[in-house]
């Protein structure tokens, strides 16, 4: 039984090109004992709404560390700092990294060069370091509740409709 190749949209095709180029550039490069990998969409990204790709460092044995994200639709890349990756390794795996900061810095430099060539804005940050209530003012009791976005719910309904009816949710898009 032969399977049809997935038809890629403009965003997913571009994201796959970025991922293929990135993977080829890091094919023989390791950060310590970790290989560098990037995910790529297998189909439509919904006009770029689902275009988030993950960059990971994966050891031969063990769980991968997410060290960055790429959003080709928004033309932005976030690479995690060494300090953040080291903290995540200790928090999740209870062990220090098997590579040092200069090795990680060389990876960040190479990744920045490659991704910038695609016109992507690359930022290195301590992602996920949201302030605690001690670090920011506690919310006022009289503050209005945050506005609710219906976009995630609408996307979920469309996805379920497509999964169940193979396109039966066409009426939601009219």
In this prediction, residue 62 has a pLDDT band, given cuts at 50, 70 and 90, of confident
Residue 122 has pLDDT above 90, yes or no: yes
3-state secondary structure 54-121: EEEEEECCCCCEEEEEEECCCCEEEEECHHHHHHHHHHHHCCCCCCCHHHHHHHHHHHHHHHHCCCCE
Banded model confidence at residue 70, pLDDT cuts 50, 70, 90: very high
Q: Which residue has the higher pLDDT, 61 or 120?
A: 120
CA distance 64 to 33: 12
Mean pLDDT of the 85-105 span: 93
d(CA 19, CA 125): 21
Residues facing 123 on adjacent strands = 78
Confidence of residue 170 (pLDDT cuts 50, 70, 90): very low
Instruction: Report the C-alpha gap between 150 and 141 in whole angstroms.
Output: 25
Q: Which are the contacts of 51, defined by CB distance < 8 A and separation ≥ 6?
A: 11, 12, 15, 41, 45, 71, 72, 73, 74
Look at the pTM and tell me if it is higher than 0.85: no
């Amino acid at each position: 039984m032969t399977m049809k190749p997935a038809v890629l949209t403009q965003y997913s095709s571009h994201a796959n090109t970025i991922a293929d180029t990135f993977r080829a550039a890091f094919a023989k490069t390791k950060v310590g004992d970790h290989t560098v990998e990037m995910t790529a969409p297998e189909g439509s990204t919904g006009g770029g709404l689902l275009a988030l790709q993950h960059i990971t460092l994966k050891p031969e044995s063990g769980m991968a560390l997410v060290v960055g994200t790429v959003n080709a639709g928004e033309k932005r890349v976030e690479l995690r700092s060494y300090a953040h990756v080291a903290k995540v390794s200790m928090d999740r795996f209870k062990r220090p990294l098997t590579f040092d900061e200069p090795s990680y810095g060389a990876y960040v430099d190479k990744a920045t060069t490659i991704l910038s060539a695609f016109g992507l804005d690359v930022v290195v940050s301590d992602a996920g370091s949201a302030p605690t209530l001690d670090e920011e003012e506690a919310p006022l009791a009289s503050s209005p509740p945050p506005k609710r976005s219906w976009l995630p719910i609408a996307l979920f309904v469309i996805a379920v409709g497509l999964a169940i009816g193979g396109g039966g949710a066409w009426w939601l898009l009219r």
